[in-house]
Amino acid sequence: MVLWKDAQLLVVNKPAGLLSLPDGYDSQKPHLRSVLEPTFGRLWIVHRLDRECSGVLALARTAEAHRALNVQFEQRQIVKVYNALVAGDPPWKERVVKLKLRADGDRRHRTIIDTRRGKSAETSFRVLCRFGEHTLVEAIPKTGRPHQIRAHLAAKGFPVVGDALYGDRDHPAHSLMERLGLHACALTLEHPGSGETQRFEAPLPQDFQEILEA
């Protein structure tokens, strides 16, 4: 699970199904800090991944590192790269989606497209591999809105496989994976201590790999 560790920074490959933050209704559910702090001591959450999303995630090990990383996120200096397996075959090779998003915008607590009250959101997409009824897409969000990649892909008609919240739950494509087909594969940031630019990569988990090979 651990990709990098030093006195200021801990970078992990979060497994799908593990919460980034404590559950608001059940504090006993395992989450990143509850799993990692017994081994690594006090940790600060800098950013999050959806529970069913796997991949690279950075945590701060000091308050100073936490502040430094927060500034990088606020100034959009940190680059996050995701792989998404989507239903359908996009007619484009590359596309930038700029649709304003409003979090918790409906009864299902989804992030919705809202051109009047939504916040600016931008995601760059690039097709990596086409499988006919499914496509592997690279997604690079410029902004960090909740469920941004999922909402943008669904709005364009290519929901992430296994996404019961934003996709058509009866569509046969969504039975392909038992969880969300979204993986954070790379994260580039400036080390909060040295200032050196570092890129961390998390390999695709076994279930994701097996689906692609099949």
Mean pLDDT across 28-37: 91
Tell me the CB-side half-sphere exposure of residue 133, using CA atoms within 13 A: 7
Domain interval for residue 7: 2-213
The enclosing domain of 152 has a CATH number of 3.30.2350.10
For the chain, what percent of residues have pLDDT higher than 90? 84
Q: Report pLDDT digits (tens) over 73-131.
A: 999 999 999 999 999 999 999 999 999 999 988 888 999 999 999 999 999 999 999 99
Which residue do the tokens 């591999």 mark? 129
| Domains: count for the chain | 1
Could you confirm whether 50 is annotated as catalytic?
Answer: yes
**Alpha-carbon span 177 to 163, nearest angstrom:** 9
Q: Supply the pLDDT for residue 62.
A: 97
Question: Residue 151: pLDDT above 90?
Answer: yes
Mean pLDDT across 49-74: 96
**Phi, psi torsion values for 213, nearest 5 degrees:** -65, -40
**Alpha-carbon span 41 to 70, nearest angstrom:** 20
Question: Residue 178: pLDDT above 70?
Answer: yes
Q: Return mean pLDDT, the chain.
A: 93
Residue 169 bridge partners (DSSP) = none
* Catalytic hit among 50, 89, 114, 170: 50
Q: Contact 87/98 with Cβ under 8 angstroms?
A: no
CA dist list (Å): 204 to 72, 93, 209? 26, 22, 6
